[in-house]
Amino acid sequence: MTITRSEPRRCSPSLPYARGPLSHAVATALREGSAPAAPSEDGEPYGEDLQLALYVLYELHYQGFDGVDDDREWDPALLALRRALEERFQAALRADVPVAGVGSRQALDELQAEPVGDDGTGVSHFLRNQGRLEHLREYAALRSLYHLKEADPHAWVIPRLHGRAKAAMAAVEFDEFGAGRADEIHAGLYADLMQDLGLSTAYGYYLDAAPAELLATVNLMSLFGLHRGLRGALTGHFAAVEVTSSPGSRRLAEALRRVGAGAAATRFYEEHVVADAVHEQVVRHDVVGGLLESEPGLEADVVFGVRATDFLEDRLAAYLLKAWRGGGSALRTGPLPPVREARRADDGEPGRGTI
């Protein structure tokens, strides 16, 4: 039976619940059509309040929110607040991510250092070796904040590249967007995965459940993508994603098969095992190589993009593993309701796929 896919981005999500004065000011301004009130405190750069406020402001450039006028995307007061939050976020990253004396090749090679056998300690290793269905469902729900708009943040860099880098980046993005086939768009394949696991596929549905550690990983892409001056950093981010995707995707596909997930769930990661192994070489040699050939002064920014990505992914991994190894949920809203029936794209037998 083939899964009938509904378009996750057909409707805009509701505004999330605030997590402090910054996110409250943003949500109130958007809900009431007013200018944001100046909060009494700046917020911790990696904290729940600042990261949610920044995420909401960035989402105005993507899907927006239900009841919020599209023109608020370019509201000067909101942009001024976003700039202030970005500066705090970027300043913290610059302080925490060393780049001096490191070349882009070294930074990317470091990401490829894979542990031997089953000895890895990362999230994909945990999920493959001992993760339960509820862990994989939580992981899928949280990652949906990016994967339901997969490749969109990286597309911002295309007009800011030229020559070999531009051509190679456009080629990789073409694959991400389905190579001309709507049913092969990676964001759509992820919606199929979520449907298979009994999750809501509505865009932004799990925002209130996502911790700051997850929001920061998504905000990083938007920060880099929306600023021409950070084109080198976005290129580095994209390279880091492609370098680490194939082995991690292989482990996640194995984890999903182990817990009995269906073909639609495993297909998303199986697709990335093959595609991203190819993309990695194109990105390293033609996107990064082409950019630095034409703009060698951007190498430190490329390294910053690589290492900032790794830094925030490590923070997220620590958060997830602490929650799961302690027997708890990684979602701010608590455990997901159990799956009663997940209809999968398998051999078409009615009712098959109960997990």
Which tens digits make up the pLDDT trace of 210-260? 999 999 999 999 999 999 999 999 999 999 999 888 899 999 999 999 999
In a domain? residue 11: no
Cβ atoms 267, 193 nearer than 8 A:
yes
CA triplet 340, 344, 350: central angle to 5 degrees? 80
Report the percentage of the chain scoring pLDDT > 90: 82
pLDDT of residue 281: 86
State which of 94, 117, 146 marks the end of a domain.
Answer: 94
Report the percentage of the chain scoring pLDDT > 70: 92
> Phi-psi region for residue 284, left (φ > 0), alpha (ψ -120 to 50) or beta?
alpha
Condensed to tens digits (0 to 9), the pLDDT of residues 277-325 reads 778 889 999 999 999 999 999 999 999 999 999 999 999 999 999 999 9
- Among 238-242, 336-340, 348-352, the minimum mean pLDDT is found in 348-352
In a domain? residue 146: yes
pLDDT tier at 104, thresholds 50, 70, 90? very high
* 119 and 87 in a common domain: no
In a domain? residue 315: yes
Lookup: tokens for 215: 């929001």
Domains identified in the chain, total number: 2
Q: Is the sign of the CA dihedral 127, 131, 136, 142 positive or negative?
A: negative
In a domain? residue 118: yes
Determine the Cα–Cα distance for residues 45 and 320; give it in Å rounded to an integer.
20
State which of 94, 117, 139 marks the end of a domain.
Answer: 94
Residue 53, exposed/middle/buried by CB under 10 A (0-12, 13-18, 19+)?
buried
Q: Which domain holds residue 116?
A: 102-325
Q: How many CB atoms lie within 10 A of CB 119?
A: 9
Cβ atoms 225, 156 nearer than 8 A:
yes
In a domain? residue 77: yes
In a domain? residue 204: yes
* 202 and 310 in a common domain: yes
pLDDT tier at 118, thresholds 50, 70, 90? low
Determine the Cα–Cα distance for residues 67 and 88; give it in Å rounded to an integer.
29
* 228 and 106 in a common domain: yes
Confidence check: pLDDT of 40 > 80? no
State the pTM of this model.
0.92
* 196 and 47 in a common domain: no
pLDDT of residue 347: 33
Q: Residue 177 belongs to a domain with what CATH number?
A: 1.20.910.10
Place of tokens 């500066």: 87
* 161 and 72 in a common domain: no
Of 320, 125, 291, nearest to 217 by C-alpha is 320
* 249 and 138 in a common domain: yes
* 119 and 40 in a common domain: no
pLDDT of residue 343: 40
* 53 and 159 in a common domain: no
In a domain? residue 354: no
State which of 94, 111, 139 marks the end of a domain.
Answer: 94
* 106 and 82 in a common domain: no
* 147 and 223 in a common domain: yes
In a domain? residue 62: yes
* 153 and 218 in a common domain: yes
Provide mean pLDDT across the span 96-101.
94
* 106 and 90 in a common domain: no
Of 105, 186, 89, nearest to 97 by C-alpha is 89
pLDDT tier at 1, thresholds 50, 70, 90? very low
